[in-house]
């Protein structure tokens, strides 16, 4: 796989899956714009690593749920690189609770970041991509957007929304050779899952056919495939990367 000459934007690229994606796409030759929210130190490390590979990197602080931040991020990215070929909508949060205990804020925050964030970033970039043609958008959904999960009505609704968004946009922009796909990770070892109690992790492990938690690189490899020409006839799809939980 080769991404030489491409520019990729990865939201939430300073840690976890987003960081693995940013480093993987850079290792394949792409220049990288990535957003971060709080940790300047982590984002500096990612930027340095990408630059040490001989690629260019631009780190931008932006909250994807805020349209003003997103507009500025896209503008700064376009000013710096003149184009963006690959968009990876990765930023996401959880605020788990049973519905009967879930606050309106827990619902709104998760929908605002996970679903409206995907709308905001894609909306701000899509005109440029349509003019440019030959682009790839990859949305990080989740298997719970397909299967549902007790305690995650907000999160699974946001991820099911991302899947619907992916398929609809794929139909809108296919004629410009812009491909739009989603990845549905299973249980991946990151800050998001490290905070779960051991008992829950053990319950997941029992359901995973390959008998191990996923690594961020497992998702980054699938993103690289969808970003590259190796997947040039694939659009509107949800690729499940879950070690066999859903089978
Ligand atoms: P993480 O918590 O390590 O990383 C989340 C990233 O999103 C961070 O970089 C964070 O800064 C960023 N982010 C959070 N709120 C943001 C906001 N308002 N604006 C911009 N960026 C924001 O978690 P992760 O596991 O790396 O998750 C990455 C994506 O993968 C998320 O969309 C998550 O829902 C999805 N996912 C993760 C798993 C898993 O098991 N870890 C499973 C399925 C899907």
| pLDDT tens profile 24-60 | 999 999 999 999 999 899 999 999 999 999 999 999 9
Residue-wise pLDDT for 135-188, tens only, equals: 999 999 999 999 999 999 999 999 999 999 999 999 999 999 999 999 999 999
170 CA from centroid of ligand 1 (Å): 23
Write the residue with the smallest CA distance to atom 8 of ligand 1: 12
Per-residue confidence band for 195, with pLDDT thresholds at 50, 70 and 90: confident
- How high is the pLDDT of residue 141? 99
* Ligand 1 pocket, residues with Cβ under 6 angstroms: 11-12, 14-18, 35-37, 63-65, 90-93, 113, 140, 142, 185, 187-188, 190-193
**Is 155 among the catalytic positions?**
yes
Fold of 7-239: Rossmann fold (3.40.50)
Cross-strand pairs, 57: 32
Per-residue confidence band for 196, with pLDDT thresholds at 50, 70 and 90: confident
92 CA from centroid of ligand 1 (Å): 4
- How high is the pLDDT of residue 189? 96
């Amino acid at each position: 796989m080769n991404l030489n000459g491409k520019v990729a934007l990865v939201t939430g690229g300073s840690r976890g899956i987003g960081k693995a994606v940013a480093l993987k796409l850079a290792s394949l030759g792409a220049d990288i714009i990535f957003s971060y929210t709080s940790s300047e130190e982590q984002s500096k490390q990612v930027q340095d690593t990408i630059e040490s590979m001989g690629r260019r990197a631009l780190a931008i602080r932006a909250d994807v749920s805020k349209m003003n931040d997103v507009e500025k991020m896209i503008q700064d990215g376009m000013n710096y690189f003149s184009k963006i070929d690959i968009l990876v909508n990765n930023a996401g949060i959880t605020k788990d609770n049973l519905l009967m205990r879930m606050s309106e804020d827990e619902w709104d925050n998760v929908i605002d970041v996970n679903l409206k964030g995907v709308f905001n970033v894609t909306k701000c970039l899509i005109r440029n991509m349509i003019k440019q043609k030959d682009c790839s958008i990859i949305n990080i959904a989740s298997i719970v957007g397909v299967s549902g999960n007790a305690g995650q009505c907000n999160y699974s609704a946001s991820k099911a929304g991302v899947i619907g968004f992916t398929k609809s946009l794929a139909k809108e922009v296919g004629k410009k050779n812009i491909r739009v796909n989603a990845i549905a990770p299973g249980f991946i070892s990151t800050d998001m899952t490290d905070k779960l109690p051991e008992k829950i992790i053990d319950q997941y492990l029992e359901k995973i056919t390959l008998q191990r938690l996923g690594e961020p690189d497992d998702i980054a490899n699938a993103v690289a495939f969808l970003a590259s020409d190796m997947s040039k006839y694939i659009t509107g799809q949800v690729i499940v990367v879950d070690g066999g939980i859903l089978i």
